[in-house]
Copies of this chain bind each other. A is one copy, B any other.
Amino acid sequence: MKTDIEISQAATMLPITQIAEKVGLDQESIELYGKYKAKVTYETIKEKEHEKLGKLVLVTSINPTPAGEGKSTISIGLADALNRIGKKTILALREPSLGPVMGVKGGATGGGYAQVVPMEDINLHFTGDMHAITTANNALSALIDNHIQQGNVQQIDTRRVIWKRVVDLNDRSLRKVVVGLGGPMQGVPREDGFDITVASEIMAILCLADSIHDLKKRLGKIVIGYSFDKEPITVEDLQVEGALALLLKDALKPNLVQTLEGTPAFVHGGPFANIAHGCNSVMASKLALQLGDFVVTEAGFGADLGAEKFLDIKVPVLGKAPDAIVVVATIRALKMHGGLAKTDLGQENVESLKNGYANLQRHIKNMQQYGIPVVVAINEFITDTEAEFSALTELCKKDQVEVKRCAVWARGGAGGEELARTVIETIASQEETDYRKLYHSDDTIENKTNAIVQKIYGGNQAQFSPKAKKQIQLFQQLGWSNLPICMAKTQYSFSDDPSKLGAPLDFDVTIREFVPKLGAGFLVALTGDVMTMPGLPKKPAALNMDVTDDGQAVGLF
C-alpha cells in the first residue's frame, strides 16, 4: 500500500499554466509560484466580476469521530468524478495550517488517489498566505504595544487588550505569556497569549473579504481592546489598517493548484472551524463559481458547525447558496455514534449502525431546513458489509435521501462517478434552490443563539452565563447586536458535551462568553473551553521528517 506522499510524489502534474487554461485563464491572468502553483491577478478577478455563477455543491459531514470520515477526500474525488462525466468542475478548498502538520501525521490535502497536489508545498509554506497573516497579526500586536509604550494617546487599558499574537505552530507554551518585561525600555508588562494563525481574526477577514477595499474596511473594524473608560478601540483608531492590508495584498489572491487527476483546485484561506467560520475564502469561491459550471467546496468539522456557519455566515457575503449539500459519513463512524467501541468497528454490527443513523439523520434534516437538497456519501472502508450498507440505504430511503458509496480514496474520480451522477440529478431536479435563512441578523443575540441551539443542535435552549448576559447588554449599547453568531462548540457532539455521540436529546448549551469579531463580522459564542492554540503530542510528526540532498520531502505523511 502506497502512502499519500508516495502517491503524490509519483504523480505527473500538469504545468499550472495548463490547469489555468482549462478554466479559461491565460498566462497573463496568473502569477506563478513555481511550476505547479499560481495566484490569480486582481485584473483577472475584476474582469470576471459579472460572469454567470455555476452550481455550488457543499460537502459536509456527520459529527467527526476517531473512526474518520474523509470529507476532503470525498470533496476531491467528487470533483474529479464530475469532470470525468463531462461536467466542468472546480474545487474550492481551505489551505492547511502548518502547525498540525509538525504535530500529528495526516494532512489536509485529501488522501489516497483523491489528493490535491503538490501536497508537500500545500502542507508546508504553500504561497505564503499563512505567513502573511501571521505577520499582519503580529505587526498589529507590535503596533499596539508600541502605541502604549510611546505615550498611549488612545488610553489603551493594558488589562483589556483582547488582540493576541499568533504563530502557525502547535505551541502550548505560548498560550499564556507575560510580555514587556525587563524594565522601562522594553515595553509595558502585560498578560498576553498566542493563538495558532488560523484562529486569527485576520484569517477570518481574509476569507470573508470580497476585495482589497473590503479587506481594508474590515481590518479597520477589528476591536483590539478597550480604553480605561471601557470604550472599544479599533484598528482604525490606531490608523494602521492600510499597513495591514498592504501586508495581505498577495495573500488575498486565490491560489490555483490541481488534483491528481488534473481538476483545477482553488485552495485558499483556512479559518478555524471553532472560533471562526471554517470555510475557504469568498474570493476563491466566487472566482471558482465564475469560471466553472460546478464548484465543490467543503466546510470544517460536522454540519452542525461548518455547514451551519457556511449557510448563515458565508452565504450572505458570497451572495450564493449551495445547490446541493453532500453529507459524508462512514459505516464505521455511524457504528461509533451508535455506541460501538472503537476496537469493535471492524466487525459487522447492523444494530449499532441503525442506532448511529440518528446522528446522520439530524444533520440531513438540518440541511433540508435551509431548503437545499441533500445527498449522503458513504466513504467506503474495506470492513463495510453489504448488510450494513443495505440497512443504511433503507434508513435513508425513509428520509427520502439518496445515499451513494464512494471509493475515491482507492480509485480516484472513477470511484465517485455514481455519487457525481446523483449530485447532478439532484441539482437538475429543482429549478432554483429555495435557500431559507435560519435566523435574521437583526434579531436579538439571544434569539439568534437559540435558533442555532434548537433548530440545529436539537437542544432545549441556550443558557447564558452572567458574563455573557452582561456582554449582550454591552453589545446592544455599542450597536454590535445585528451580527451573525459564530458558535464555538465541540465538534464531536450536537451538544456542548463531546462524550454525547449520536443524537442527544434534552440538553441545554451554555454560552460562557462572547468574543466580538467586528472585522470578520460575527460574534463568537464560546461554549466550554475552546482550543485556539493546540499542543504537540509526545512524539511529534516532526521527529520523522527529513529532506533528501536534492530537496525531496521525506516522512511528511
**Could you tell me which A residues sit within 8 Å of B by CB distance?**
31-35, 39, 42-43, 46, 98, 102, 124-125, 128, 131-132, 134-135, 138-139, 141-143, 145-146, 149-151, 167-182, 185-188, 211-213, 216, 239-240, 242-243, 245-247, 249-250, 535-538, 540, 542-551, 553-556
Instruction: Pick the contact of A128: B125, B243, B554 (CB < 8 A).
Output: B125
Instruction: Pick the contact of A249: B32, B42, B553 (CB < 8 A).
Output: B553
By beta carbon, the residue of chain B nearest A213 is B549
Q: A146-B172, A173-B186 are in contact. List 17 more A-B contacts (CB 8 A).
A: A32-B34, A33-B33, A125-B128, A125-B131, A125-B135, A131-B135, A135-B169, A142-B174, A146-B540, A172-B185, A177-B178, A212-B547, A212-B550, A240-B543, A243-B543, A243-B546, A249-B553
Contact A246 B553 (CB under 8 A): yes
Contacts of A554 in B (CB 8 A): 242, 246
Contacts of A135 in B (CB 8 A): 98, 125, 131, 168-169
Grouping DSSP codes into helix (H, G, I), strand (E, B) and loop, the A interface class, with mixed when no group exceeds half, is mixed
User: How close is A323's CB to chain B, nearest CB, in angstroms?
Assistant: 31
Contact A138 B171 (CB under 8 A): yes
Ranked nearest first, the 10 interchain pairs of A and B with the lowest CB-CB distance are: A242-B546, A173-B187, A131-B131, A176-B182, A243-B542, A142-B171, A145-B173, A243-B545, A32-B32, A176-B181
Contact B168 A174 (CB under 8 A): no
Contacts of A32 in B (CB 8 A): 32-35
Instruction: Pick the contact of A177: B35, B181, B212, B216 (CB < 8 A).
Output: B181
**Considering the chains assembled together, what is the distance between the CA atoms of A98 and B243 in angstroms?**
12
Contact A125 B245 (CB under 8 A): no
Contact B186 A170 (CB under 8 A): no
By beta carbon, the residue of chain B nearest A99 is B142
Q: List 18 A-B contacts (CB under 8 A).
A: A32-B32, A33-B33, A42-B551, A43-B550, A102-B142, A102-B143, A102-B243, A125-B131, A135-B169, A139-B169, A146-B535, A173-B179, A173-B186, A175-B181, A176-B182, A239-B543, A246-B545, A246-B547
By beta carbon, the residue of chain B nearest A46 is B550
Contact A143 B249 (CB under 8 A): no
Contact B172 A176 (CB under 8 A): no
Contact A187 B172 (CB under 8 A): yes
**Considering the chains assembled together, what is the distance between the CA atoms of A298 and B229 in angstroms?**
52
**Considering the chains assembled together, what is the distance between the CA atoms of A139 and B142 in angstroms?**
21
**Considering the chains assembled together, what is the distance between the CA atoms of A537 and B34 in angstroms?**
38
Contact B246 A556 (CB under 8 A): yes
User: How close is A196's CB to chain B, nearest CB, in angstroms?
Assistant: 11
Contacts of A211 in B (CB 8 A): 549
**Considering the chains assembled together, what is the distance between the CA atoms of A168 and B135 in angstroms?**
8
Contacts of A547 in B (CB 8 A): 212, 216, 242, 245-246, 249
User: How close is A6's CB to chain B, nearest CB, in angstroms?
Assistant: 16
**Considering the chains assembled together, what is the distance between the CA atoms of A143 and B245 in angstroms?**
32
**Considering the chains assembled together, what is the distance between the CA atoms of A242 and B535 in angstroms?**
20
Contacts of A139 in B (CB 8 A): 102, 169, 542
Contacts of A556 in B (CB 8 A): 246
Contact A170 B187 (CB under 8 A): no
Q: A239-B543, A240-B542, A246-B547 are in contact. Are A149 and B131 (CB under 8 A)?
A: no
By beta carbon, the residue of chain B nearest A183 is B176
By beta carbon, the residue of chain B nearest A251 is B125
Contact B186 A175 (CB under 8 A): yes
By beta carbon, the residue of chain B nearest A248 is B547
User: How close is A440's CB to chain B, nearest CB, in angstroms?
Assistant: 31
Contact A176 B186 (CB under 8 A): yes
By beta carbon, the residue of chain B nearest A34 is B31
**Considering the chains assembled together, what is the distance between the CA atoms of A554 and B536 in angstroms?**
40
User: How close is A230's CB to chain B, nearest CB, in angstroms?
Assistant: 23
**Considering the chains assembled together, what is the distance between the CA atoms of A186 and B186 in angstroms?**
25
By beta carbon, the residue of chain B nearest A150 is B538
Contacts of A143 in B (CB 8 A): 102, 536, 540, 542
Contacts of A134 in B (CB 8 A): 131
By beta carbon, the residue of chain B nearest A124 is B247
User: How close is A121's CB to chain B, nearest CB, in angstroms?
Assistant: 8
Contacts of A175 in B (CB 8 A): 181-182, 186-187
User: How close is A67's CB to chain B, nearest CB, in angstroms?
Assistant: 26
